[in-house]
Structure 1
Amino acid sequence: MNKEQIKLRSMILTALFAAIIGIMAQLTIPLPLVPITGQTLAIGLAATILGSKYGTLSVLLYLVIGSAGVPVFAEFSAGISKLIGPTGGFLVGFLPATFIMGIYLEKLGFTFKHALIANIIGMLITLFFGTIWLKISAALSWTAAFTSGFIPFLLVGMIKAGLASWLGVLIRKRLIQAKLLFTAKTDIQRSL
């Protein structure tokens, strides 16, 4: 398989994961300011399966599509207003979270243990960005922002981190075996 074909498959997976994030965003548990969604599970899967480059590109594509007006954000919402509204910090926080999770996994290995650590780090990064932006955009005190944008998501976030780690590592291995996902290591092995 040549480089162009590998790049095309990687771009298709990137677009597929942008769609998966949009679909998972519709699984919501409403809360007063920020709902609990399946988005963060999908973000964890994207980073764990695709790594830093294509995982982050899938999140960027998702944010661009949603900002352009396609209703892919939670509760079938869309538009730039979502990025500057109370939940905008969580959405923007997905970018550094995915990139850092991917880098961590690429450096230390795509194992369940490392995926779990990476997903917990990603959850904390997302909550950090979201809480800060919630405080600013909703003019809340630090205590109110922390109790409405951080604390309610810790337990559910840990569960999603575990699920994204387990499924992500499993799916990544299967995609590599099926020659649908390529890594530098698998590309080298194929050329021998």
Structure 2
Amino acid sequence: MLQEQQKLRIMIITALFAAIIGILAQVTIPLPLVPITGQTLAIGLAATILGSTYGTISVLLYILLGAVGIPVFAGFSAGVSVVVGPTGGFIVGFIPAAFAIGWYLERTSFNFVNAMAANTIGMLITLSFGAAWLKVAADLSWGAALLGGFAPQFIVVGLIKAALASWIGVLVRNRLASANILFTEKKSA
């Protein structure tokens, strides 16, 4: 019975993080071509708190909700057209980013320094996918795609969001674990 309760808890928390990603996606700073959104902060939080498997599942659930028409993408947009559109590479890039963040932390430890490194790697993965996709989807040159999707403002804001996701994520993960709400596996030496 206890194991079933743990599974139910993690499924609920995973679904809640899909909703949190959708909510933070609405926090936007409009820019030409690609806006700055709260999605990447939420992706970092999900992966830092839940780890690679459940963090990635929460991202997949978020993308599925948006693809089927629930307006969870930035600007309350939805549909497959958003996923395959010019900014779709960022959305698709959230999947490997969440996995990489969680994977890195599971192999090191869930502290701020490791979380900052993991979230910075996740940010670079997301920006790389986004810029490459932008080049193809918008038929841009590499220079224009990099400027539009990997511009300095994205890196600066991305580092700020990585720091926030690291600090809040480690804090929340530790509190959930100590309250026996999130069960964490111990690494074997």
For normalisation by structure 1, the TM-score amounts to 0.95
Q: 2:132 corresponds to which residue?
A: 132
* SS of residue matched to 2:72: coil
Task: Give the drift of 1:4.
Answer: 1.0
Moved over 6 A (4+): none
For the pair 1:171 / 2:169, whether they are aligned, the reply is no
Identity of matched residues, % = 68
Q: 2:183 corresponds to which residue?
A: 182
Give the total of aligned pairs.
Answer: 186
Deviations 1:30-56 (A, max 9, x none): 011110000000000000000001000
Task: Give the drift of 1:179.
Answer: 1.1
For the pair 1:121 / 2:121, whether they are aligned, the reply is yes
For normalisation by structure 2, the TM-score amounts to 0.97
Write the distance in 2 (CA, Å) between the matches of 1:184 and 1:160: 27
Structure-to-structure mapping, 1:4-15, within 5 angstroms: 4-15=4-15
Write the distance in 2 (CA, Å) between the matches of 1:72 and 1:84: 15
Deviations 1:134-178 (A, max 9, x none): 000000000000011001300000000001000000000011111
Q: Output the amino acid matched with 1:182.
A: F
Q: Output the amino acid matched with 1:79.
A: G
| Unmatched tracts of structure 1, length 5 or more | 187-192
Structure-to-structure mapping, 1:76-155, within 5 angstroms: 76-151=76-151, 152-155=153-156
What is the CA RMSD across the aligned residues, in angstroms? 1.0
Write the distance in 1 (CA, Å) between the matches of 2:5 and 2:53: 17
| Unmatched tracts of structure 2, length 5 or more | none
Q: 1:157 corresponds to which residue?
A: 158
